[in-house]
Amino acid sequence: MYAISASNLQLLEDPDIFDWFRRRQPTAKVGYSIFIYDVVERTEGQWAAVCYAPVPALEADQIRDALGNPDLRLVYFDCRSSWVYPAGTAPGWYIIPDETDGPTVASTYCDDAQIVFHGRRTGNRLGLTVYRGEGAASAPPPLTGGSGGSTRFADVARFLGYEVDRGDKLTLGTYWEVLDRPDFPLSVMAHLVDAQGTPVGIADGLSFPVENWQGGDVFAQVHVFTLPPDAGPTAYTFHVGLYRLDTMERIPPVGSEDDHLVLGPVEVRNDGR
């Protein structure tokens, strides 16, 4: 049971130390200035997904100590261009730094997520936000733009589907389920191809490094395309797949004669829509 004065909740030199309490209703008040919080039980979790862009906001031992689980699985990813749903049904936390060297996709995937703690930057620490999250088996990815089915790429990963955003830039989100962690580095291939079969944009990348993979993880990789200025209104397709970074060899989809998937078509004008 905690008794915290209203002034300490707001006016300490580091007021964010009590941010967790400010997000909850007190169970009682003493007079007008002392708030009583009865914390019945600790919130449990089995993993913490940590954005490492530009650097993790906390060290590994700090995370495990703060969340009270020395066996916590730490999953590192770049939240500027990916999102991760760790394997299983157990809940966990997302730890997102407030200051990265580029925009993040956290707002897209955390719209409805509960903020557990928000700490602003101080002289001693980076700013960060901690969200409550669900495991991959409890939180299927939101495939709002269409599904590509479920296609295996060897025993490495399964393609689950995709979504397209025609905002200021053409953005493709590909969703994958990890089958097994490979012993070689990988990247996700994402090419934008016009109606004549000519590639007009390449946005390969993998922001969830394979050394962090575990079977059952689901991740979203975000690919951003900038169309050529002279690109006319036409139907484009996306060519998507996986390839090894050490040999540049593509991993073909099981049962396919091609070494990649073709998604679409999608109609795009030269103003990006």
Each domain of the chain, given as residue ranges in start order, spans: 2-37, 47-133, 151-268
- In this prediction, residue 211 has a pLDDT band, given cuts at 50, 70 and 90, of very high
Average the pLDDT over each of 48-52, 169-173, 228-232 and give the range with the smallest value: 228-232
Record: fold of 151-268? Immunoglobulin-like (2.60.40)
Q: What are phi and psi of 241, to 5 degrees?
A: -175, -165
Model pTM?
Answer: 0.85
Distances (CA, A) of 101 to 60, 79, 98, 123, 138: 21, 11, 10, 19, 31
CA distance linking residue 253 with residue 92, whole number of Å: 32
> Is the Cβ–Cβ distance between 49 and 84 less than 8 Å?
yes
Of 262, 221, 244, 251, give the one whose Cα is nearest residue 108: 221
Q: Is the pLDDT of residue 254 over 80?
A: yes
pLDDT at res. 100: 57
The alpha helices in the chain, defined as continuous H runs, are 6-11, 19-22, 60-67, 106-109
